[in-house]
């Protein structure tokens, strides 16, 4: 099968009827694609319509939003069909070109692009559906997207933090560009099927969503700006690709706050990048440090394979993956046990080298900031030798982002001796002991403890272990409060007394 088409429906009988009828009329070959409709609690009139068309139907009794809806369709399609391209299509679309699917996918097939679609921020209502490419945009509209399946496997699809709608398509495109995937605007015979007195998202529907989620457009705009604005500022001080977004989020004070709060992302990247390039840790085998050489990982290489078998692990997120030095020793065994592996790291040079040496159909590598960037959902998240280098606040952000990915298990480096945890203000390449089972983290209910038999620094860290947790049982809110309270006593000049109010 060439492609799967994902369509979300929430009532709007005329729109979905016109689209399905349109696809039937111009379908170049019924073997080319499969239409999957996710109905989000539509009326009986709309549901009865599906019986007249050759589609796969996923029926829900409520609206779960644009991002979660298409993510659900992709998961369903992946489990049932073999396909090359995943097509995102709005229910209020009409095609005027019979070979629209070929028009969208041929540039991907030829290797010109990895994602194709229409221009972002503009949906045409012209008769032929064509729009001249007079302006350059940094993202494509989610109303029509053709995505290479491998792209979704590596970086995931839409981030559900943008539920119920808006900005998830822009966020996805920017994540793809960050990972060096090529984005192409393609002219295709396609238009928005505007029908007088009927809207695919009526005022009544918007009212329902507003009552449930609040002003989600402004909220998602704020999330998007905080996540992406700093990148464009660091890239260029004179040219902003997102001028309209910045205008919406106008105000110098807000801009300064965003840059101030995200400035550590840029500095963290530079610190770890310099350490990797100059081999700051001085290990003869791995530039990721002595903790990644073969001697220090001898025990965990065996234990992790047993863990994968025991807990039925099929997908892995390795964050950070470092230079993949010790993991490469068990790559062949992992290849037989799992469906996919994604390794991420904040240092782009590491990712480029890993892609060149180790990437294949199952093993993918992607550049990302573990604290802030979108992380794909996997069965197991591996986080080794990170927390000893970063502050309590950054540890909390990483744990929160892992939990946000909705992955199942987390196996993380920690010390087990009952010693007092010490906070640090900045990145420490030297590292220190961190015990996640004691204050201020107090993580309990560990499923498995793997002692690493660490002999670094003459056995100073002989209690260093990997501990397995269920991510859903980690209480991020409680950890945040405990870390804040800890800082109130250890760093009283930084945290003001008024911050106590939310605890009492």
Average pLDDT, the chain: 81
User: What is the pTM assigned to this prediction?
Assistant: 0.56
pLDDT tens readout for residues 365-388:
998 889 888 898 999 999 999 999
Q: pLDDT tens across 6-21, in order?
A: 999 988 888 888 888 8
**Tokens linked to 320:** 């950070």
Q: Which residue has the higher pLDDT, 334 or 502?
A: 334
Task: List the domain boundaries for the chain.
Answer: 3-204, 217-277, 290-490
Q: For residues 426 and 492, what is the distance between their CA atoms, to the nearest angstrom?
A: 17
Residue keyed to tokens 């004070």? 253
Residue-by-residue DSSP string for 10-67: SS-HHHHHHHHHHHHHH-S-TTTEEEEEEEES--HHHHHHGGGS--EEEEESS---HH
CATH pick for 3-204 out of 2.30.110.10, 1.25.40.10, 3.30.1330.40, 3.90.550.10: 3.90.550.10
Q: How distant, in Å, are the alpha carbons of 78, 122, 253, 397 from that of 248?
A: 38, 17, 14, 27
DSSP-based three-state secondary structure for 145 = strand
Taking residues 271-297, what's their average pLDDT?
88
Q: How far is CA 341 from CA 358, 370, 371, 381, in A?
A: 11, 16, 20, 10
Please state, for a pLDDT cut of 70, what percent of the chain lies above it.
Answer: 81
**Which residues, including other chains, have CB under 8 Å from residue 185's CB and lie 6 or more apart?**
116, 117, 118, 119, 133, 137, 140
Distance of CA 190 to the CA centre of its chain: 29
Q: Taking 50 as the threshold, does the pLDDT of residue 68 lie above it?
A: yes
Q: Is the per-residue pLDDT at 407 higher than 50?
A: yes
383 vs 279 pLDDT, higher one: 383
Q: Which CATH class is domain 290-490?
A: alpha beta
- In this structure, what DSSP letter does residue 502 have? G
User: Are 3-204 and 290-490 the same fold in CATH?
Assistant: no
Least confident segment among 277-286, 310-319, 483-492: 483-492
Is the pLDDT confidence value at 498 over 50? no
Instruction: Say how far apart CA 144 and CA 140 lie, in whole Å.
Output: 8
């Amino acid at each position: 099968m060439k492609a799967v088409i994902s369509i979300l429906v929430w009532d709007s009988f005329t729109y979905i009827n016109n689209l399905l009828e349109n696809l039937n009329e111009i379908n170049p070959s019924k073997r080319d694609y499969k239409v999957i409709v996710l109905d989000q609690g539509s009326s009986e009139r709309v549901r009865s319509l599906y019986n007249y068309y050759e589609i796969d139907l996923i029926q829900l009794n409520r609206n779960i939003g644009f991002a979660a809806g298409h993510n659900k369709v992709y998961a369903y399609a992946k489990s049932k069909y073999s396909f090359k391209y995943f097509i995102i299509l709005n229910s209020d679309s009409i095609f005027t070109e019979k070979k629209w699917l070929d028009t969208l996918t041929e540039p991907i097939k030829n290797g010109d692009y990895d994602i194709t679609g229409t221009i972002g921020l503009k949906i045409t209502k012209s008769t032929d559906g064509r729009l001249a490419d007079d302006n350059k945009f940094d993202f494509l509209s989610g109303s029509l997207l053709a995505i290479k399946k491998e792209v979704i496997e590596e970086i995931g699809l839409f981030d559900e933090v943008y539920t119920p709608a808006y900005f998830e398509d822009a966020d996805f495109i920017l994540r793809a560009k960050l990972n060096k995937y090529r984005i192409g605007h393609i002219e295709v015979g396609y238009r928005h099927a505007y029908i007088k007195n009927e809207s695919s998202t009526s005022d009544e529907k918007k009212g329902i969503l507003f009552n449930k989620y609040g002003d989600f457009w402004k909220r998602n705009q704020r999330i998007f700006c905080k996540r992406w604005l700093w990148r464009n500022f660091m890239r260029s001080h004179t040219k902003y690709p997102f001028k309209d977004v910045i205008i919406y989020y106008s105000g110098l004070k807000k801009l300064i706050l965003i840059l101030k709060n995200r400035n550590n992302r840029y500095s963290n990247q530079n610190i770890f990048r310099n350490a990797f390039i100059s081999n700051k840790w001085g290990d003869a085998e791995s530039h990721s440090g002595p903790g990644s050489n073969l001697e220090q990982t001898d025990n965990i290489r065996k234990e992790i394979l047993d863990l994968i078998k025991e807990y039925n692990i099929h997908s892995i997120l390795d964050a950070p993956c470092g230079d993949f030095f010790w993991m490469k020793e068990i790559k062949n065994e992992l290849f037989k046990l799992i469906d996919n592996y994604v390794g991420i790291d904040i240092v782009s040079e590491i990712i480029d080298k890993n892609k060149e040496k180790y990437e294949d159909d199952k093993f993918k590598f992607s550049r990302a900031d573990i604290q802030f960037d979108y992380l794909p959902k996997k069965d197991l998240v591996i986080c080794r030798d990170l927390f000893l280098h970063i502050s309590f606040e950054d540890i909390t952000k990483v744990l929160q982002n892992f939990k946000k990915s909705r992955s199942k298990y987390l196996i993380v480096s920690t010390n087990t001796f009952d010693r007092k945890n010490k906070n640090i203000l900045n990145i420490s390449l030297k590292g220190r002991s961190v015990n996640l089972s004691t204050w201020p983290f107090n993580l309990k209910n560990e499923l498995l403890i793997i002692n690493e038999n660490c002999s670094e620094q003459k056995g100073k860290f002989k209690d260093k272990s990997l501990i397995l947790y269920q991510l859903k049982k980690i209480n991020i809110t409680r950890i945040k409060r405990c870390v804040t309270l800890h800082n109130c006593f250890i760093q009283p000049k930084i945290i003001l007394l008024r911050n106590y109010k939310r605890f009492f």
